Structures are given as C-alpha cells and as structure tokens.
Chains A and B, each alone.
Chain A
C-alpha cells in the first residue's frame, strides 16, 4: 500500500466512524447556517488556499459524494505557461482533483476545448501534468462527444455541448480571472465556452445572453475562481508578464453569478460590471448583490 493510499483510507475510515456518531448531523446543520456564500482565501501557496477555500464552504464532502464521476473544468485555452496567467493555475486544478478523490470520487476528469492547439495548451499550461499527477483522467476533447443539446435558453435553443460534462455526477468550474475584449472580463460563466462545440465564436454576437443560457444547463456544484495571478491587459491570452498581477487569491462559491460578481471587484470594477452577471441575476440564476452575501475572507 502506498503512503497516499494509506492516508486516504485512514481519513476515509475516520470520516465514516465519526459520521456514525449521534450529534454530528446536528453539528453539520449548525455549520450550514453559518456557512459563507463565498470564501475568499489569500496565501502564497495555490494548493493551500484552494484547500482552505473549499474547507470554508464546508469541505469537498459537501459537493462530491462517494462514487461520483466528477469533472473539474479549468481554462486550458491558450498556449501559455502558468506565469502568463492565461490558463488556470495548475496547482489549483490539481488540489481540486485531490480534494474530489479524498471526498470519495470514483473518477475525476479534466479537460477543456482550447482555442490554441490542445497538445500545446495542455502541456504548456502545466495542467495536464499536475492533474495527472493528482490522479485525474486528463483527456483531449473528442469531437465525437459533442451532442446537440437542448438549452432552452432565452437566446440559444440548442447547442452542441460536450457529453462528458453533461453526464458527470458533479461539475467543478475552475476558471481564471482575466480581462477580455468583448466580455470585459472572463471569469466563471465565460469558462463554459470550453464545453461548447460547433462555431462557438458565433456566440460573441450576443455573448452575455449565450453564456447565461449555457450556465443554466451546465450547473456546477462548486466554482473556484483562480486569482493567484490575474491578467489585467491584453486578455484573454496575455503574453507579457507586465500585464499579470499576483493576487494569490482564490474565490470559491456555489453561485455562478455571485462568484463572477465578486471576481469583477478584483479588477476594481463594480459587482455588476459584467453583462452576464446582470443577466444571470435578473433571470434568477444567482445573486450578484455582494452586500447580501456572506463573504468569508481568510489568509493562510
């Protein structure tokens, strides 16, 4: 037995034993009442802040059940190395994979439909290596697995979406925070372009409505916005270190609108600066009023 396996088994056994106790369910309820809507954690280690943020929300066990097939969906869109802040931080992705396995996930899948060549983006982003090392099944997009899916949105009636994300038990969205020409910023909802097939560039014609429509279909259990490094100019693919700011932060939550609303504030914008946030709020997808949300800030 490997050390990691032993630890995993030990933790699992411990968790099972403690659940058998009488007052734990009650405690969990009390915790639930105090649980934050958003956890904003700052610290120098991407893995640690990710673990802490998920912990603040109640731990991965709240989102992933034993035997689940989990998709962790990062942004692997661009042929850039991590320091250029064009793709999700590999440490954040890998930690989520580990957390999902610790919570009992059967399989954790990691993929994205990149804009640049997939071989280069997967390799250069460092995500393929980090996620594979964490035990994830990292795969390239298989064109055959896009299926015309009924979206029944305000704008999009149907679109070819990736079946692996639709068929997963749980979906974790792990975007990176960047500026973007047409969307102003690309945060959580914009990341769903990575599960869209067909000529997805066409949705730029009415991007915000389209994103909200897709976000309604691909409902993530958890969103972890990577703001370890953010891209403040020349987004979404950057290319100059001068355009990168190091915030050493992740923002975790379960409300797609709330996470993106908070994400805007990282760039000095108002919470309702993004069209998709406003539309998502207006149509009941989530809540953008940060003042009404419990935001827990933490430095680790």
Chain B
C-alpha cells in the first residue's frame, strides 16, 4: 500500500469514527451515555491550551491533546492530513474541483471573470493581458495584483518564489488573536477551532437538515399510501431510524445561519483547495508552528526536472519554486506529491537538517493581531449583563454549569450538550449571554425542559464547563425558578381547572403544590378549583411545567434563571 493510500485509509477511518461517535451522542434511555463521544475535542491541543489559559485552571485528561502535540513535533502536521475529519471533508470537496483541472481547461478566477463580464456589460472593453488568460489567475496578497500585474502565481501552489508563504499567514494571525484573547481570559478558540466548528455545525445544522430531508421523503411516501412502495419505504425508514436518524427531529435556533457558514467554508474549496486549512484554521496554524522542527521531511533528489507537477497536487500549498522548495509548517503529509512525480524524485524521510523556509509573519502583523485581541477582550465584556443583579432572566444554563464568568472561559460552543440534550431544550444563545457568550447553551423550556434524571450534557462537555453530575447531585441543583403568571393561569384567571404543572413537576415533594379554593363564576355558581403555587425552596427550575403548560404562546408558568445554584448574585431566597 502506498503512503497515499494509507493516508486515505486513515482519513476514512477517522472520519467514520468521528461520525459514528457523533451518532452515539444521543440517549438510549440509560443513565450513562457509554461512549467517549468527545475524544476528538479532547485530542485538540488548541482547545486545551486556550481553555487552560483562559480559565487559569487545568481540567480533564491532557493525554490525547498531548499525544497530538508530541506527534506533531516529530512528524509535522500529520493530524491535518491523516486524522482531522474537517480536513478530510475539505479534501473531499476540494477533489470536486480537481476533476476540472485534470480534464484539461483550468478554471478561471471567478472574480476576474465576473469583473470582466460586468465591464463588458457596462460597455467597457475586456482587460487585455495574461490576467484573464486561461490557466492563469492573478496573485493574491498585497505585493501582487493590480500594482504588479507582471507577478503571477498559481493560487493552488503557494507563492511563486516559494520562500515566503505570505498568503497563508492569516491563520497564524488568527491564532495569535485567539491565544492573546485566551491569555486575557476570553475563550474564543471554540468558535474557530475546526473540530469544535465541525461538531457544532453538524449538531445544530447539518444533522437536523439531514433528518428533516429524510423524514420529509418518508413521510410523503407514508401519507401517500403508494402500494408496495410505501410498505417498502417503511422498512427502510425503520432501519434508518435505528441507525442514522435521530430519535426525534432536532430543531435549533440559528441552525440555518450556522449551516450557511459551514457550507460556505466547504464551498471555499472550489475556489482554492483546502482553503480553510491553508488560510483560516487556527489549529492548523498551531500545529504548523509546532512542526517547524519536525523530523519527517520532504526531499527532492537531483532527478527533479522542475516540471512543477507536485506543486499542482499539493494539498497544503506547501511546495514552492518549481517543486524543490517546501514549507514544513504548511505540509499536511498527504503524500500527494510523492507518487505523481514523473521523475520519482520526491521522497519523505527523517532528517534533522533545518528547513530553510522559515515562516515570516511580520512583526507588525503579529503585533496588530495581539493589539486587536487586547481591544476585543474588553469590548466583549462591556455588557450590562455582567453587572451584579442584572443577569439575563432567560439565560438558563444547563445543570452543573459553572458560575457564568468561569463558564464562558470554559465553554467551547462545540454544541455537544445541545446535540445530546434529550428534550432538545438546550439551544445556542445569540445575545442572551452577551457577545462573549454567543452559541453557548441556554435552556429554552418552551422547546424542551431539563429531564429531571438525565445528566448527559455534563457527560459530554469536553471542558467541564458543565460539570458531570450524579443523579443524586443533579436532583438538588437549581438552574432557575418557576413562577406563575396569575393573569394567564387557567384556575386563577379563568375559573377553569388544570394543574398540569403540578402533575408533571418531578421533584419529591413536588415544588408545584395547589390550594383548593371555592370561587364564583360570572353566573354566581360556586366552582371548586385547585390553584397552583410554586415552593421556591424545592423548585429546581427544570422547566417541565413551562413546557407542558397548556397556555400556549406565553405560558402561565415560566422559568427564569433566578435562584440558580451556581450564581452567588442571582438569588432570591434568604435561605435557599
């Protein structure tokens, strides 16, 4: 097996493992989830380092992330090329683009094409010159382009001179930005980190989309009563429900926006292969920095005739010059340059010889990124929500969540908790937690309450932002308090019996209790009613009452974060 095929095998294996674990991030009715669904996030050194820096505390097992660091130091960015499931997806989408390249005519730069067409449309003349010639496109980066139209590079193969990987520096600057933010106490890595981004996008958007589409097809067949076909479809549907479909259709706020972002990032591969990995990925940047002294190196023998074939196939754009130059920090060790070399001149081997092409980010740029981060950190914090006593009432955090300030430093916004939430009530925030807390989990009881005996969110949280609770611990953790709106409650305002909130209240004794009252209706007849009350010392704020309240729209019993155990400020009772 060639190294390239071995790499493909590894990528497939890890992608399937990732997706399988993703599918297991769902309750089967047991108390324990039973699968280590977060191991990919555990193995992410960027998430570990930034979380430790931001929260100034160690957490969890460092073993996997440490292993990735060690492997990277010795072998380079093999994680990107061999393991990272997001990278594999990019490579797959990038492959769509490559087909066009090999079949002959190379794609022209879409932007240039559009500009040209627009110009033509407006009556101008097309711009002459090689800038629009097939197979060539103008270089990116500030030193090239309109100012120096004579300098042209192949976008797919790094910079022409191969000495300066300038076009790829954006990810390093993003990394600097994220690292400085974490030093200042803001955890922003989870937003940009590829694994966190992938879990979040799949959980909140792609998987719900997939489920919705499949269900729509099978529901149509089911209700259509097509002979034979409908019955056969039900059998297929049954087996899909047991394997790849979620137990119930997930719905998430911002699912559409998160999905658009995800598909946009994938579509960037059509513009430039592995665009995300080359330009944006902060984890790739971190691993790139770690791999500067990697022992596994690419070498080109004397047989090289400068055909440049290897450059064309390079996934990371790590090959410069005519194929002889190589940037260790950009190489993902895909070995795509190894096989196709017509002269068989490319080989990989261990050597301690330093690589001549050092990464030059530019002091000003690094300083700029650091400065931007030091402005961003306080900017994100100037929200009145941070004032004592001004907590957002709707910000009901999952049970076991750390106090808000620490929670935000730990929470990666990976969406694992929302994926696993058995009622689907955990939703991504938008502004409820301030700009710093975007996409962190919030319980929306109207969508789903917190299942009283379920502790799954704490089991899947990779950083302990949501603590792992035992069933006994969870039973006494308050995430908020329910209060009754007497203006809407049926027995209070409308002389109608109800008490659904009391029925579903899961605590023992029930936090919702009722008082039997005798009232007169408009005709003067006596009616006996049970009016609900909430015992705040017992209520844990699970929100099942709000969820099941038959007063739809604005329910007559509403949970707010008031009284949550984790907060020293957001209290109500003298003796809780």
Contact = CB atoms under 8 A, between A and B. Distances in A.
Contacts of A140: 247
Interface in B500-517: 500, 502-504, 506-510, 514
A181 B499 contact: yes
A116 B506 CA distance: 10
B496 A205 contact: yes
B490 interface: yes
B197 interface: no
A181 B548 CA distance: 15
Contacts of A123: 28-30
Interface of B: 27-30, 219, 222-223, 247, 422-423, 451-454, 490, 496-500, 502-504, 506-510, 514, 530, 548-550, 552
A68 interface: no
Interface string A71-82: 000000001000
Nearest to A124: B29
A57 B550 CA distance: 41
A46 interface: no
Given A79-B452, A180-B503, A205-B497, A115 B548 contact: yes
A120 B30 CA distance: 7
A253 B422 CA distance: 38
Given A115-B504, A119-B422, A124 B550 contact: no
A151 to B, nearest CB: 19
Contacts of A207: 497
A119 B499 CA distance: 25
23 contacts: A79-B453, A115-B503, A115-B548, A117-B29, A117-B422, A119-B27, A119-B247, A120-B453, A123-B28, A123-B30, A128-B29, A140-B247, A182-B497, A182-B503, A199-B550, A201-B498, A201-B548, A201-B550, A202-B550, A204-B498, A204-B499, A204-B500, A205-B497
Contacts of B514: 181
A119 B223 CA distance: 26
A236 B499 CA distance: 12
B243 to A, nearest CB: 15
Given A117-B422, A199-B550, A243 B452 contact: no
Contacts of A181: 499, 502-503, 514, 530
Contacts of A292: none
A144 B247 contact: no
B489 to A, nearest CB: 12
B223 A144 contact: yes
Interface residues of A, number: 31
Given A124-B453, A201-B550, A202-B550, A119 B508 contact: no
B508 A182 contact: no
A119 B246 CA distance: 12
Contacts of B509: 233-234, 240
Nearest to A236: B503
A79 B451 CA distance: 9
A19 B245 CA distance: 50
Interface string A118-139: 0111111000100000000000
B426 to A, nearest CB: 13
B503 A117 contact: no
A239 B530 contact: no
Given A121-B29, A239-B506, A239-B507, 12 more contacts: A79-B452, A79-B454, A117-B451, A119-B29, A119-B247, A119-B422, A120-B454, A140-B247, A182-B503, A201-B549, A205-B496, A236-B503
Interface in A201-241: 201-202, 204-207, 233-234, 236-240
B499 A243 contact: no
A256 B510 CA distance: 30
B454 A234 contact: no
Contacts of B552: 199
Nearest to A182: B499
Contact of A205 (B498, B507, B548): B498
Contacts of A238: 508
Contact of A116 (B451, B496, B498, B508): B451
Interface of A: 79, 115-117, 119-124, 128, 140, 144, 180-182, 199, 201-202, 204-207, 233-234, 236-240, 243
A233 to B, nearest CB: 8
Nearest to A233: B509
Contacts of A116: 451-452, 506
Closest CB pairs A-B (n = 8): A123-B29, A239-B508, A119-B29, A201-B500, A240-B508, A201-B550, A182-B499, A181-B502
Given A79-B453, A204-B550, A120 B490 contact: no
Contacts of A204: 497-500, 503, 550
A117 B423 contact: yes
Contacts of A119: 27-29, 247, 422
Contacts of A233: 509
Contacts of A205: 490, 496-498
A243 B508 contact: yes
Given A204-B499, A204-B550, A205-B490, A120 B507 contact: no
Contacts of A144: 219, 222-223
A124 B514 CA distance: 29
A115 B503 CA distance: 10
Among A115, A181, A205, A207, chain B packs the most CB atoms within 10 A around the CB of A181
B246 to A, nearest CB: 11
Contact of A120 (B27, B497, B508, B548): B27
B528 to A, nearest CB: 12
A186 to B, nearest CB: 9
B502 to A, nearest CB: 5
Nearest to A116: B451
Contacts of A115: 503-504, 548
A100 B247 CA distance: 30
A238 B508 CA distance: 7
Contact of A182 (B28, B423, B530): B530
B29 A122 contact: yes
Given A182-B530, A202-B550, A120 B451 contact: yes
Nearest to B505: A237
Contacts of B223: 144
A124 B510 CA distance: 20
Contacts of B453: 79, 120, 124
Contacts of B508: 234, 238-240, 243
Contacts of B550: 199, 201-202, 204
Nearest to B549: A201
Contacts of A236: 503
A239 B507 CA distance: 7
Contact of A237 (B454, B506, B548): B506
Among A121, A202, A205, chain B packs the most CB atoms within 10 A around the CB of A205
A39 B332 CA distance: 76
Contacts of A240: 508-509
Nearest to A125: B29
A237 B501 CA distance: 12
Contacts of B219: 144
A279 to B, nearest CB: 15
